[in-house]
């Protein structure tokens, strides 16, 4: 079996942490579930690093990009809450740059299913 490299990247900066400012959608609309400006900058940096092919063995170009389900979802933790947009927003530019369709079928609370799929 070939070696498998899995890189786990936490979503970029969110409102209320060390980076001031409101969460904003890609269309610059205020949204408490979205990244702050600094988070959008970091997401762009991930796209440049992983999408350029210049990261070498330390930062290989991915074959798949996963993010938590960003849409309202009828899953185990969907009752009474909205999913965060930040994981999807963090990887969206990278997936676009690489021409990959993000895998977003797993929601928060379904991590064991995600691991089973990857391995």
Whether pTM exceeds 0.75: yes
- Name residue 103's beta-bridge partners: 66
Cα separations (Å) of 54 from 34, 48, 66, 81, 98?
Answer: 29, 9, 21, 39, 13
The confidence score (pLDDT) of residue 119 equals: 83
Q: Which is more confident, 57 or 114?
A: 114
Angle between helices 37-51 and 86-98 (to 10 degrees): 30
- Work out the percent of the chain whose per-residue pLDDT is above 90: 29
Which residues lie below 8 Å from residue 44, measured CB to CB, with a gap of 6+? 93
Q: Which of 83, 69, 64, 91 is nearest to 10 (CA)?
A: 91
Burial tier of 95 (Cβ tally within 10 Å: 0-12, 13-18, 19+) = buried
Q: Confidence class of residue 73 from pLDDT cuts 50, 70 and 90?
A: low
In the predicted structure, residue 82 carries a pLDDT above the cut 80? no
Q: Confidence class of residue 78 from pLDDT cuts 50, 70 and 90?
A: very low
Mean pLDDT value across residues 58-84: 73
């Amino acid at each position: 079996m070939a070696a498998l490299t899995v890189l786990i990247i936490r979503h970029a900066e969110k409102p209320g942490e060390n980076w001031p400012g409101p969460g904003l959608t890609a269309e610059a609309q205020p949204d408490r579930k979205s990244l702050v400006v600094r988070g959008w900058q970091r997401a762009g940096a991930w796209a440049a690093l992983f999408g350029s092919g210049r990261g070498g063995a330390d930062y290989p170009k991915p074959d798949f990009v996963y993010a938590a389900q960003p849409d309202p979802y009828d899953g185990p933790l969907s009752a009474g809450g909205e999913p965060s947009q930040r994981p999807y927003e963090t990887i969206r530019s990278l997936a676009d740059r690489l021409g990959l369709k993000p895998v977003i079928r797993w929601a928060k609370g379904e991590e064991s299913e995600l691991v089973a799929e990857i391995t």
